[in-house]
Amino acid sequence: MPTSASLILQMPRGNLETIFPRAMVIAGIRKLIEEKNYKKAFTNCRTQRVDMNILYDHAPEQFLSNVPLFIDQVKKISYIDLFLSSLRYVNQLPMNSII
Amino acid sequence: MEYIFTTTRGLTSPPQDHGLVAVIDGQLIKVTPFMAANIPPPMALHEISVPSNALDVVFNDDASIAVLHQDGISVFEYKSPSASGPPPAPKGQIAFEETKSRQNFYQAVVFAPNNEVLVLQRSLSGSIISRYGLNEDSSIIEEMPISSDSVITTLSSFIEDGVAKPFTQNVSGDLCSLLPGSQSVSYGKLTSNLPWVEIASHGDSPIAFGLSASGHLYAGSRVLVKNCTSFLVTPAHLIFTTTNNLIKFVHVTDVNSMSIYFSLINTILTLRRLRSSTGRPRNG
């Protein structure tokens, strides 16, 4: 289910397991960023322990021209602080990850 | 004749990805929208009953349900699946005529555009596809006998641009469209007849995915892996499980350039969360 980034598996015994695969989570966050839904993208980054740099890195120009929107959506100061403190400058991406 | 396990699922594309699954239990269909309620088998959120033993059940893109049973077809509408919402409500019934030869047997049902359903039937002389209308009189619109040298093994459909597109697979693996007026449109040919087939719309041309009983997963005629146990398609990925308990994700691009990335999750023992992977693009 892409909306919740979850995948349900059935084990050989018949019981169900729900997982949140990284691939689906990242794909979901990218989509939310493209829709400019920074609030939901940020929330997903928090709950799924995804590096928040993706909020900028996935669409740098869009982020820079929508900083007021980002702040309006995220609202809570502690969340904004969390985002700012996680920002990192990396010269070159260590791994090519289109997941 | 071969029997396979198959899962009746609703759409996997947002916003209609309610995680709908239907299970047949005699004259009962057990329906659960997993997005709203995580109810493990053998229980379900809703149970709907039909007049005789069910043979096939399918979902439409609006979550409505068609059940093919021995005596006819029952259609239910299921508005906004939720944990506390109303169950699927009966919307219409089609009763098969008593005069039908008992040597014919019904195999599958799918939704078609314009409020219709298609039914696959096997007779002594080959396969028959019938169209039924879901309006007031619910009568047979047309019976389309298919030529007897191509027995149809699969009747299914996929959604493209919001329109249901039914298709068939015959014993040789040919995939043909069943839209009125486009019977000659082919969705490709699989290397051989595959028990599990799904078509995903992608760009200009839809891609057909299929799984053989021996575990070979095909995209068109290209083998992707040889140890696949199940698969499904979402708008972003082809997701499949393998015999060594791995789940793999493939970006759906055109058939010739699909590449496979790993997501290592051991599904039987523990779920290890990957802490540091992100999607940061290259600078410059």
Q: What is the pLDDT of residues B131-174, one digit of tens each?
A: 888 776 666 666 666 655 578 888 888 888 888 888 888 888 88
CA distances from B102 to B26, B52, B88, B228 (A): 20, 15, 31, 38
Q: Give the DSSP letter of residue B86.
A: P
Residue A35: predicted pLDDT:
92
Q: Answer whether B276 sits within 8 Å of A51, measured CB to CB.
A: yes
Question: What is the average pLDDT across B11-38?
Answer: 89
Give the pLDDT band (50/70/90) at residue B7: confident
Give the pLDDT band (50/70/90) at residue A45: very high
Give the pLDDT band (50/70/90) at residue B273: very low
CB pairs under 8 A between A and B: 109
When mean pLDDT is compared across A87-91, B236-240, B253-257, the lowest value belongs to: B253-257
Q: Is B261 on the interface with A (CB under 8 A)?
A: yes
Q: In chain A, whose CA is at the least distance from the CA of B237?
A: A24
Say yes or no to pLDDT of B128 above 70: yes
When mean pLDDT is compared across B49-58, B107-116, B127-136, the lowest value belongs to: B127-136
Say yes or no to pLDDT of B181 above 80: no
- Write down the ipTM of this complex: 0.79
Q: Answer whether B35 sits within 8 Å of A27, measured CB to CB.
A: no
Q: In chain A, whose CA is at the least distance from the CA of B271?
A: A19
A48 backbone dihedrals φ, ψ, rounded to 5°: -95, 5
Residues of A in contact with B19 (CB under 8 A): 1, 6, 8
Q: What residue spans of B46-149 are helical by DSSP H?
A: none
Residues of B in contact with A2 (CB under 8 A): 12-14, 17, 234-236
Give the distance from residue A91's alpha carbon to the nearest chain B alpha carbon, in angstroms.
Answer: 7
When mean pLDDT is compared across B138-147, B202-211, B241-250, the lowest value belongs to: B138-147
Q: Tell me the three state secondary structure of residue A78.
A: helix
Say yes or no to pLDDT of A78 above 60: yes
When mean pLDDT is compared across A34-43, A84-93, B156-165, B268-277, the lowest value belongs to: B268-277
Q: In chain A, whose CA is at the least distance from the CA of B275?
A: A49
Nearest residue to A31 (alpha-carbon basis) of B234, B275, B249: B234
- CA-CA-CA-CA torsion sign (B246, B12, A19, B250): positive
Q: In chain B, whose CA is at the least distance from the CA of A4?
A: B35
Note whether B267 and B239 are within 8 A (CB). no
Residue A90: predicted pLDDT:
73
When mean pLDDT is compared across A43-57, B65-79, B116-130, B251-265, the lowest value belongs to: B251-265
Say yes or no to pLDDT of A82 above 50: yes
CA distances from B100 to B50, B97, B124 (A): 20, 6, 13
Note whether B242 and B228 are within 8 A (CB). yes
Mean pLDDT over each residue of chain B, to the nearest integer: 79
CA distances from B164 to A3, B61, B157, B222, B281 (A): 21, 8, 6, 26, 36
- CA-CA-CA-CA torsion sign (B138, B144, B150, B156): negative
Question: What is the average pLDDT across B182-207?
Answer: 82
Percentage of chain B modeled with pLDDT above 90: 19
Residues of B in contact with A34 (CB under 8 A): none
Sheet strand arrangement including B54-59: B54-59, B65-69, B72-77, B89-95
Q: Tell me the three state secondary structure of residue B182.
A: coil
Q: Which of B13, B35, B283 sits opposite A92 (nearest CB)?
A: B283
Q: Answer whether B249 sits within 8 Å of A19, measured CB to CB.
A: no
Say yes or no to pLDDT of B58 above 90: yes
Question: What is the average pLDDT across B5-12?
Answer: 84
Residues of A in contact with B274 (CB under 8 A): 22
Interface probe, candidates A1, A31, A48, chain B, greatest B C-beta count within 10 A: A1
Phi-psi sector, B245: left (phi>0), alpha (psi -120 to 50), beta = left
Higher per-residue pLDDT: B253 or B260: B253
**Alpha carbon distance B194, B196 (integer Å):** 6
Note whether B31 and B48 are within 8 A (CB). yes
Percentage of chain B modeled with pLDDT above 70: 80
Residues of A in contact with B41 (CB under 8 A): 10, 14, 16
Give the pLDDT band (50/70/90) at residue B257: low
Residues of B in contact with A50 (CB under 8 A): 278
Say yes or no to pLDDT of B186 above 90: no
